[in-house]
Amino acid sequence: MVAITGSSSDSLSGVESVQVSVDAGSPTPATGTTPWSFTTMSLADGSHTLTVNVMGRAGNIGSTSVAVTVDTTPPQLTLSSDVTAEATGPSGALVIYTVTAADSIDGSVTPSCTPASGFAFPPGTTTVNCSATDSAANTASGSFHVTVQDTTPPALTLPANITTEAIGPGGATVPSR
């Protein structure tokens, strides 16, 4: 829906009517003359031209046009696939991912994600929530998961083989090194 209002005047003969046409279509009477308003039902997304014709009582016509851009479609949000990363320390891992957004009217739109790419994700699974909003306040949102896992076995260091003499039937005491 697009609503437009305006005022018109004809100081000599007065205003007879105001009509509006959309994209060079058939004129439709506006509500009122001084001031006037016009509401069109639905228009497809994209650019449109509204032409306003004002007819004075003497038959003179004044005309002007205004460009209107309709945008009811949210941006297209392209999310990262779910990510699995190996922990690089006890606090988890730095994970870098890519999320983009494009809008049919605005072109490229900058998405916002929480947690952000490059964040130190803790061990376990974290949901990343993203959104992108175009200039007409249409918002797209989505999420994906980052899982940080620890599949690296612990390091184990043992002493070299130790040989010691038994000092009795109970064995021997092995010194630690």
Beta bridge partners of 9: none
Write the pLDDT tens digit of every residue in 77-98. 999 999 999 999 999 999 999 9
Calpha distance 30→23 (Å, rounded): 16
The greatest distance separating any two alpha carbons of the chain, rounded to the nearest whole angstrom, comes to 131
Beta bridge partners of 17: 55
Tokens of 15: 């205003």
pLDDT tens sequence for the chain (177 residues): 789 999 999 888 899 999 999 999 999 999 999 899 999 888 998 899 999 999 999 999 999 999 999 999 999 999 999 999 999 999 999 999 999 999 999 999 999 999 999 999 999 999 999 999 999 999 999 999 999 999 998 888 888 888 888 888 888 877 776
Residue 173 DSSP symbol: P
Mean residue pLDDT of the chain comes to: 93
Q: Is 99 helix (H, G, I), strand (E, B) or coil?
A: coil
Domains of the chain, each with CATH number or no CATH: 2-70 (2.60.40.10), 76-149 (2.60.40.10)
Structure confidence at residue 177 (pLDDT) = 61
Structure confidence at residue 42 (pLDDT) = 84
pTM of the entire predicted model:
0.70
